[in-house]
Amino acid sequence: KQSGVSLFIMEAEYTAASVMATELLDVCQLVGELRIEYSSPMSLRVDNQAALKPLDGEGSSSKAKHTDVRIKFVGAFTKRNVFTPEYLKVRRCL
């Protein structure tokens, strides 16, 4: 179920990345409590190259100021080497 409407593709990518980052953090905590080893940093795959660079923690563009909190959330964990944002080539979007 879609919880909101996005005006721009990049905004949707930032939202999806931050939601996925939150889920990955929860999984990390669970796996840590179970004392199961996992590889770190975890891959956070994004299918939009324009949205990828700000997620590396290098700042954001002036066009994305309203999504800064989400970008900085993912960027903070990227700098701490928890996530590695990567480009995922998608053949076709539905």
pLDDT at residue 83, as a whole number: 87
Between helix 68-79 and helix 9-33 the angle, nearest 10°, is 40
The domain total for the chain is 1
pTM of the model: 0.73
> Is 59 or 35 the better-scoring residue by pLDDT?
35
Residue 16 belongs to domain spanning: 9-87
Whether residue 93 lies inside any domain: the answer is no
Q: State the CB neighbour count (10 A cutoff) for residue 58.
A: 11
Q: What is the pLDDT of residue 58?
A: 59
